[in-house]
Structure 1
């Protein structure tokens, strides 16, 4: 077996009740959830019994999904399965910071709570939405987006690019895509993320990291691939701060990230957190990759049975 990478899901994967059985059965998950609940009271109620609408609100989604993502990593590590590299999709990158040792878990949770609030504020300044566009030529889509005034932002995998922008302009884009018989899917997110509309959130994050006095950024102990560059983070603190904060207004180079991980020897990808979106992206990007998910006890047991003997 080659190298193992943990991948952490982003917004849109959340659902009420996610990871409840991991919380109930894995002491390390239970204990850290308790730490997080003390930092942000009400988080566990939102996760386990909140409505879909409540969870869709960015300032709620991000801390809840952070916990759901890191639960998978904690459960795997407890059972002897450790990552050789990590990457997270959008907010999942904050989880990856914790999983790589670049930030302590509780610091990363505090940061994601702030990140959610900053992005919620920026989202409130423009009525935005996001759609995933399927099987359209990349250059043609870029040209169309420029004509309409929206942004291609997440390069998920071959044949899938997410577009983000103001609601009215996005409606125009949808009409143009429909005319061209191009398939698209609306995403369950609450704003025009990874666009210049998030500049305010990016500036607030940068200030928080520089002046918050609770974040101790360290060089990652294993390769931590950045959405913004698709390459591992450097160990330079100033550069790390810029990478983390600029990410909210920059494109997510996910396809390139997966390709680079495979280039660097990763052949086994474990998606930690709810949903299977990232697993689908791996399947369509890295030929022959071994792909697993951990989001409950049953899925955890499957990974332990198949990989535990090689750990």
Structure 2
């Protein structure tokens, strides 16, 4: 049984201490690609790298000033390392900031342009209200009665796996009400209300930069978490589409379904952790298509190089030439 490769690129919440550090120290191609991204951020890139690799970070990992740049750099570097191994994806799907990585790999953004947009986004959102996100084991319909003011559905990752987002106090109140109703809730690793309308005024500040950048139609299919469908040329080249993303909900379950319907694939999580791998393995459309999902990195720090090497071998054993894939 052969399969084409679709990359799944995770976003906020996937970060964890020590993520990909082992691979950075052992894989030349990965290290070079990460350093390429850090170099685009100048002195701040050097500080991000020092915090990531060092034992005593100046800024904690869950702060968006560290989590967002590192998720972008690691996701991009893993995709680059895969290509260096001779593995070319036939499509991509990204979650949150992972969609920006997917857009770079697909040729929508030039790398240095995406890095500029991300640096500005981090600075702009850092001025936003403090808040967070909750992972909830329930459907959208089940949680609606418990939502406090200013708390919104920020992501639908599966039929009964959603994320809520909002400012700190209303989100805490919603969490208490859900737990009182015996609904499983856990905090997501973020200090910001990503994918909540409260961030819209801050997200809009990215528009001037995005309007002067050359955005191109994707050269590879990208299944957008913001539409749950194949990214169109009009969307990919619309500055407003990219500017609004921090304030818009993510429909990753729909994006996975759309990707699964395009053929039998090997979904490869291209970032820290294995959260998207777990989502893909449980998604009925993925299993119905006879597709599988694997992760390039372990769920926790340590053993990165062994996991990467093992997964690359598995990809070669399972992957089919691009010409055999059934894609748009």
TM-score normalized by structure 1?
A: 0.90
Please tell me whether residue 194 in structure 1 is matched to residue 192 in structure 2. Answer: no
Paired positions, count? 303
How far apart are residue 206 of structure 1 and its match? 1.8
Task: Tell me, in whole angstroms, the C-alpha distance in 2 between the residues paired with 1:35 and 1:93.
Answer: 19
After TM superposition, give the deviation of residue 237 of structure 1 in Å. Answer: 6.8
Aligned equivalents of 1:15 and 1:51: distance in 2? Answer: 13
Mark the CA change 1:156 to 1:54 in structure 2 (over 3 Å): closer, same or farther. same
**Residue aligning to 1:241:** 239
User: Is the aligned partner of 1:138 residue 2:140?
Assistant: yes
Q: Which of these residues, 75, 79, 87, is aligned with residue 73 of structure 1?
A: 79
In structure 1, what is the equivalent of residue 310 of structure 2? 302
The RMSD of aligned alpha carbons is: 2.0
> Tell me, which stretches of 5 or more residues in structure 1 are unaligned?
none
Residue 217 of structure 1 aligns to a residue whose secondary structure is: coil
Shift of 1:155: 0.2
Q: Which residue of 1 aligns with 2:275?
A: 277
Displacement, 1:16? 3.3
1:157 equivalent in structure 2: 158
Alignment gaps of 5+ in structure 2: 298-303, 321-328
Q: How does 1:188-267 map to 2 (within 5 A)?
A: 188-211=189-212, 215-236=213-234, 239-267=237-265
Q: Which residue of 2 aligns with 1:45?
A: 50
Counterpart of 1:268 in structure 2 is: 266
Change (3 A) 1:87 1:201: farther
Q: Which residue number corresponds to residue 85 of structure 1?
A: 91
C-alpha distance in 2, partners of 1:262/1:29? 28
User: Which stretch has the larger CA shift, 50-59 or 104-113?
Assistant: 50-59
**In structure 2, what is the Cα distance between the partners aligned to 1:306 and 1:3?**
12
Residue of structure 2 in register with 1:95 after alignment: 101
Q: 1:273 to 1:174 in 2, by over 3 A?
A: same
Please tell me whether residue 34 in structure 1 is matched to residue 32 in structure 2.
no
Relative to structure 2, which stretch is displaced further, 19-28 or 156-165?
Answer: 19-28
1:149/1:114 Cα in 2 relative to 1: closer, same or farther (>3 Å)?
closer
Whether the aligned pair in 2 keeps the contact of 1:227 and 1:247 (CA below 8 Å) is no
Task: Quote the residue 2:301 is aligned against.
Answer: none
Name the counterpart of 1:2: 3
Q: Deviations over 1:110-160 (max 9, x none)?
A: 2222222222222xxx231211111x2421212332x54410110011211
CA contact (8 A) 1:61 1:116 kept: no
Give the structure 2 partner of residue 121 of structure 1.
Answer: 127
Q: TM-score, normalised by structure 2?
A: 0.86
What's the secondary structure of 1:275's corresponding residue? Answer: coil
Pick closer, same or farther for the CA change 1:267–1:203 going to 2, 3 Å.
same
In the alignment, the residues of structure 1 paired with residue 202 and residue 19 of structure 2 have an alpha-carbon distance, to the nearest angstrom, of 27
C-alpha displacement of 1:270: 0.5
Q: Deviations over 1:2-48 (max 9, x none)?
A: 33210111112223332233333433333333332322232211221
Q: Aligned with 1:198: secondary structure?
A: helix
Partner of 2:183: 182
1:93–1:226 contact (8 Å) kept in structure 2: yes
User: Does the residue aligned with 2:166 lie in a helix, a strand or coil?
Assistant: strand
Between 177-186 and 148-157, the greater mean CA deviation after superposition: 148-157
